Structure 1
Amino acid sequence: MSPARSDAFIAIDVIADVVCPWCYIAKRGLESAIAAQDVGVHLRWRPFQIDRSVPENGVAWRTYLAKKFGQDRVEEALRSMVAAGREVELSFAFDKIERMPNSLDAHRLVRFAKFGALEGRMVERLFKAFLVEGRDIGDRRLLIELGVETGLDRDLLEEVFAQGDDIQSVKDELATTRRLGVAGAPMFIFGDDVVVPGPQSKEVFAAALLKARQAPSRAG
């Protein structure tokens, strides 16, 4: 096994949905693994919708949970996610959430943030707004405020959401992900071909980073 090198640079494609608790948990695990290693990374966030059936204006949170887990398993599922969140220092506020949003507009905001090199900060802010603060990230007015808070231009954001020229691009990327066989999120692709599906521990992500660093070719 060849030694890890400090000059390694790894592109990591992160396929995730900003309304997905397990995606946020996995994000924390990945960040911990990166922080513990002497390696440069470039995170590329790829959109995914964990439930494409959610209507454009969202759906009542408890109705969504009952449909997803079954009425008799909702509390058990929430307790499991809360406990997993605590392990990575996330305090989920599911009791504050009133609506499960359609995440298309949130993905549009992330796409726009790429052009200002604010993609990572925008993803984090959206996760926090929905899962920790219990805010409705399906509300375009809130999305604009979160974008401005993150460093984006208000006038440009209002224009993007008003015109909608970017919607098809986001839908095309979502469709491409599905055609590639991605059926769930999160999923992580390190370098060329090291794939880690689902929320994993810091140790699993660390092993994937090491494997990607030792590969003959790496995405840059």
Structure 2
Amino acid sequence: MDKSSSATPLAPQDTSSTTSAPVVQIDIISDVMCPWCIVGYKQLELALAQTGMGARVRWHPFELNPDMPAEGENMTEHIQRKYGASAEQSVQNRQRLQDIGAALGFEFNFNPDSKIVNSFHAHVLLDYAATQGLQHPLKMALFKAHFSDGKDLSQDEVLLDVAETVGLDRDASRAALTAECHQQAVRSEEKVWYQNGISGVPSMIFAEKYLITGAQGPENYAKMLQKVISEAA
């Protein structure tokens, strides 16, 4: 579960800086199908900027819909079926997400044909990307591909297209998608989170000690960052 190669150092606004700012370990359990996961991460970025702190981010797999069929499901129909939301409520929720995303610099593009798809292979690819030191940029690219560009992330060729944009080798990535080691790693880690009571995402673990579930806003993340650094001092 603890993959040092998947830990992406994030200085306040510079991933390559050797800044002397305090650095906090943050493990984020998430699904690329979850809009609140990218919202939560963008809020965390603001908190890091506000506090002047850095972070070592590790992404961990979680499937909100592990039984989702290959063809996926219409997003509106899925939300109505799973959460009992009306069509009107679904439209309102999407508009709210678009407004929140715009304020955070992330573009949500929804349409009547938007779908929720099976995300298992996306997690497998992320597991492989961790071994190449490219997990974080791939995670960001997958969020954009799904929510901004409307790409079908259940399709391997789409995943491979995204992988290439962050510098992953296409052939090696293709082999990783069917590699038992990566598939088993995802299954095993997901099981750990389920067994430890994680039922919603994003779930962020600060300094391997404090858990915050849901997109809680820059202010709350900033308070947690400050708490962790204060205790470490």
Contact 1:196 1:208 in 2 (8 A): no
**1:102-135 CA distance string (max 9 Å, x none):** 1111111111111111111011000010011111
Letter in 1 for 2:80: A
Conserved in 1, the CA contact under 8 Å of 2:117 and 2:153?
A: yes
Give distance in 2, aligned partners of 1:184 and 1:54: 16
TM-score by length of 2: 0.84
1:185 partnered with 2:207: no
1:164-179 aligned within 5 A: 164-179=180-195
The aligned counterpart of 1:195 is 211
1:18-37 Cα deviation digits (max 9, x unpaired): 11111111110001111233
Distance (Å, rounded) in 2 between the aligned partners of 1:186 and 1:162: 27
For residue 14 of structure 1, give the secondary structure of its aligned residue in structure 2. strand
Q: Establish whether residue 31 from structure 1 lines up as the match of residue 45 from structure 2.
A: yes
Unaligned runs of 5+ residues in structure 1 are: 1-5
Q: CA RMSD in A?
A: 1.9
Q: Does 1:41 pair with 2:55?
A: yes
Q: Is 1:91–2:107 an aligned residue pair?
A: yes
Equivalent runs, 1:105-120 vs 2, <5 Å:
105-120=121-136
Q: In the TM superposition, what whole-angstrom CA distance separates every residue of 1:159-198 from its partner, at most 9, and x where no partner exists?
A: 1124444212101111110111111001111113122221
Closer, same or farther: CA 7–98 of 1 in aligned 2, 3 Å: closer
Distance, in Å, in 1 between the alignment partners of 2:96 and 2:51 is: 29
Cα 1:111/1:32, change in 2 over 3 Å: same
CA displacement 1:57-107 (0-9 Å, x = unmatched): 422333323213434332122222222222212221011754311111111
TM-score (norm 1): 0.88
The question of whether the paired residues in 1 share the 8 Å contact of 2:66 and 2:120 is answered with no
User: Structure 1's 175 and 56: CA in aligned 2 closer, same or farther, altered over 3 A?
Assistant: farther
SS at match of 1:215: helix
Aligned residue in 2 for 1:54: 68
Contact 2:124 2:186 in 1 (8 A): yes
Corresponding residue for residue 160 of structure 1: 176
How many angstroms apart in 1 are the aligned matches of 2:192 and 2:102? Answer: 34
Distance 2:79 2:143 in 1: 18
Secondary structure of 2:147's counterpart equals helix
1:147 is aligned to 2:154:
no
**Corresponding letter in the other structure for 1:170:** V
1:3 corresponds to: none
Give secondary structure in 1 for the equivalent of 2:144.
Answer: helix
Q: How many residues of Structure 1 are paired with residues of Structure 2 in the alignment?
A: 212
Deviations 1:23-60 (A, max 9, x none): 11111000111123333321010111122231234223
Task: Give 5+ residue unaligned stretches, structure 2.
Answer: 1-19
* Deviation, structure 1 residue 7: 4.9
4+ long deviations beyond 6 Å: none
AA aligned to 1:166 is H
